[in-house]
Amino acid sequence: MPHPPHVLVLGGTTEARRLAAALAARPGVRVTTSLAGRVSRPAALDGDVRVGGFGGPDGLADWLRENRVTALVDATHPFAVMISAHAAQAARATGVPALALRRPGWRPVPGDDWHETASLDEAAAVLPALGRRVFLTTGRLGLAAFAPYEALHFLVRSVEPPEPPLPRDVEILLDRGPYTVEGETALLRAHRVDVLVTKDSGGAATAAKLTAARDLALPVVIVRRPEPPPGVTVVADIEAVLARLGLPGA
């Protein structure tokens, strides 16, 4: 007798939370969301939840086998490169079908002054030519890339306290989206920001800063997304995930 569907969702994003709710609403479908544990107070989730790492791709493969997982959905942040790589390796090792749920990236529109880079190091290197007061919204990791630029002032916004080393002249703002254009515009003005740095996370929750920067004619440094692991099918929305899993409709 075949086992009932058990979907493992690698989570931590809004899309992962919504996907868990959609899967949990399907009769006979078990869903487990895995969180890395980096956020101290994660939002409530439907279905089962596990927190912490698996011990690399081999540990994840063992977990997939032991828990009779029938499908794996990588719904992590687009820049969670290591987790995504481990998920792809574990899926190949076990034969478990795998998908990557990635919200579409942002695209410039007329009036934007975007400077695209391939990494945080490249983003830091272009800043001195663009401004001196930097609004840094790249998350709590990787800020060491900006530490050598002592002539710049950094306003760092993050959900959790950022990890050192940090820039010398830094102000930390702990906050969580979604944000409004009005609020972002007021923030940029209050802190006299003259350049914004962000990763291409996509989605609406944090896109208001881009509109605010455009309205204020501020340059924006965008760190491009890494390519997904080879062999992984990427889908853009929850409906596509459900259709791939054979669970379309409400």
Would you kindly state where each structural domain of the chain is located, as residue ranges? Answer: 6-104+227-244, 114-223
- Identical fold, 6-104+227-244 and 114-223: yes
Does the structure show a pLDDT above 80 at 81? yes
Angle at 173 between CA 169 and CA 175, to 5 degrees: 160
The CATH code that applies to domain 114-223 is 3.40.50.720
Task: State the pLDDT confidence band at 1, using cuts at 50, 70 and 90.
Answer: very low
Angle at 43 between CA 41 and CA 46, to 5 degrees: 135
Helix residue ranges, H only, the chain: 14-24, 56-66, 81-94, 120-126, 181-190, 208-215, 238-244
The CATH code that applies to domain 6-104+227-244 is 3.40.50.720
Q: Is the model more confident about 14 or about 113?
A: 113
The percentage of the chain sitting over the pLDDT mark of 70, rounded to a whole number, equals: 95
pTM of the predicted structure, to 2 decimals: 0.85
Alpha-carbon Rg for the chain in angstroms: 20
pLDDT at position 46: 87
Does the structure show a pLDDT above 50 at 108? yes
Residue 157 pairs in a beta bridge with 173
pLDDT tens figures, 177-207:
889 999 999 999 999 999 999 999 998 888 9
Does the structure show a pLDDT above 90 at 41? no
